[in-house]
Amino acid sequence: MTAGSIKGESYSTIVWRQFKKNRFALVSLCLIAPLYLIAVFAPLIASDRPFVFFDGNLAALDDGSYLVDLEMLEEEMPGQAEPNRSITLVVRPQPGTKLESAGESANLVLALPDGERTHTLKREHSKRAEAVNQPRFVSQDSDLFITLQQRQEDSCLLSVELNGETVKGEFGRWLYPWIRDLFITEESVDFLFNMAFVAFFPWMAVAILVNLIARKRGMGGGGRLIIAVVQYAAIVVVACVMFADITNKWLAENELPVLRPNDTYKERSFAKDEFQLPQRRFGWYTPIPFGPTQQDTKSSLEPPGYRKPFTTELQTESGTIEKNAWEKATDGFVHILGTDDLGQDVLVRLIYGTRISMTVGFLAVSLYITIGVVVGAIAGYFGGVVDILICRIIEVVLLFPSFFLILTLVAMIGPSIYIIMVVIGITGWPTVARLTRGEFLKQRAIEYTSAARVLGASHPRVIFGHILPNALSPALVAAPFGIAGAIITEAGLSLLGFGVRAPAPSWGTILKAGNDYFLWWLIVFPSLAIFFTVTVFNLVGSGLRDAMDPRLRK
């Protein structure tokens, strides 16, 4: 074998080979990917928003400048054989459309098997309609109500006079509320992970292409993996910027096309609308058709496998009667892991709680590792007075108990995931700084550091370009352990009621409900989720430590 045929191995390749020898650590590393995918693909697994929804009671007029809702109301009246039935058309101008006048009537043309039939609805002059500038047209024709309720018509056309012109439209529109919900969230954590979901598929296409090119050029697997991760992070950042609220407000102010869809249907319950008029409204939902904050107080504290009964018994003066208990089309689905005190599905909250735990773990640890590496590098490189001063600061910061500091800030400001992340970040860096300082003290005595200084390299270049790549091992080992610790901290704070704001899903808040009501499924399932996640990260950290320390390699 010639000397030229022997290829040197990079440090990352040696560490990876040693890491793979630890089977528990390798399996744990493989399990982190499913945890991340569960957090990213949570809306695809569980959501109360249908992928596609057909609304036979919605029409668009004048190329979408106006939307018209067809409201159908049926009320049982005591002493009457037939209920009171009414049909109301509500014309809603869309943003950017100015409605100055409307006619006194609207016509519905129904295409029935026996021919066309025209019905006229009279305008309702009420303070409510005038205040919101949404004209309302009403009819109490029972025959029309029954025809629409049973959807006997082949088509339903509307014509109405708006701003002096007669505009027409047909009832029946396909809506896509699930896609809209990805871009409009109440929590910034959900928006971040939703953008990670949006970026996933374009990234897959780009990553496959770049990987093929890099492989042909002889790049190693580690290098290709780093490139893929950087590409994914870049695409996620671009998606966040493109669809951020502040970006789209700026576009709207400058009369440019807005990229983010509006929240027209944010407050609408599609499952409830479908249940009330199944012939005219229907949709297709995710495998678990419940949202993370969707509440049903009539189904609270129910055990695993609970399915809401279709009818319920009521005691009246005349005896026992049965009443329909369902209110939504999705009420018949099973709550696999039961419900909590607010009737929220436990499994769905566990799935979305993964987002909170992963965010706190990764961002908080990234913050304090960045601070710790920079501070430790400066102390170890310069030494002398700088080293002494930084060491004293480290000792002072170590005196602050992060858990109680978080409790104090939450009591003053209020519960927030950002307080948890920032406090963990600004109190956790001293340990990383000490480890990095020790590595720098060792590395700066090696000849390559002196050679770099002799060649005229600046201090920042020597620190970050030469020494730091060789001194990152302690920080990398500390990262998985830090993530596990941050997850436990967040869960503990939420258990005490000082964690994330309600109704945001968190494993700790589910545990709190279990502690309040002493119900096993509210204790066991979130405890298993916390135990599993923390154990996985600890095993990865242990394997990484063994692989990087020659004294611990087997």
| CATH of residue 158 | 2.60.40
Across 391-419, average pLDDT: 83
* pLDDT score, position 551: 60
Q: Could you say which of 138, 173, 208 is where a domain stops? A: 173
pLDDT digits (tens, 9 = 90+) for 346-380: 999 999 999 999 999 999 999 989 999 999 999 99
Domain boundary among 155, 173, 191: 173
Structural domain includes residue 227: no
Per-residue confidence (pLDDT) for residue 2, from 0 to 100: 43
Instruction: Confirm whether 428 is domain-assigned.
Output: yes
Report d(CA 231, CA 203) in Å as an integer. Answer: 7
Q: Look up the CATH number of the domain holding residue 416.
A: 1.10.3720.10
Residue 149's pLDDT band, with cuts at 50, 70 and 90, is confident
Please report which confidence band the pLDDT of residue 334 belongs to, taking 50, 70 and 90 as the band edges. Answer: very high
Q: Which pLDDT value is given to residue 408?
A: 82
**The predicted structure's pLDDT at residue 177:** 92
Residue 15 within a domain: no
In a domain, 238, yes or no: no
**Does some domain include residue 234?**
no
Question: Residue 319: its pLDDT value, please?
Answer: 65
The per-residue pLDDT of the chain, averaged, comes to 87
Please indicate, yes or no, if residue 90 is contained in any of the structural domains: yes
Per residue in 408-418, pLDDT tens?
Answer: 887 788 778 88
Residue 482 lies inside a defined structural domain of this protein: yes
Per-residue confidence (pLDDT) for residue 499, from 0 to 100: 82
Contact 435, 549 (CB under 8 A): no
284 token code pair: 């297709």
- CB count within 10 Å of CB 121 equals 22
What is the mean predicted confidence (pLDDT) over 187-194? 91
Helix, strand or coil, per DSSP, at residue 77: coil
Asked which of 16-25, 196-205, 297-306, 352-361 is least confident by mean pLDDT, the reply is 16-25
Q: Which domain holds residue 478?
A: 346-552
Q: Which of 123, 156, 173 is the last residue of a domain?
A: 173
Q: What is the DSSP string of 340-379?
A: -TTS-BHHHHHHHHHHHHHHHHHHHHHHHHHHHHHHHHHH
92 touches 134 (CB < 8 A) = yes
Count of domains observed in the chain: 2
**How high is the pLDDT of residue 507?**
93
Within a domain: 229: no
Q: Where are the beta strands (DSSP E) in 406-455?
A: none
Instruction: Say what the pTM is.
Output: 0.87
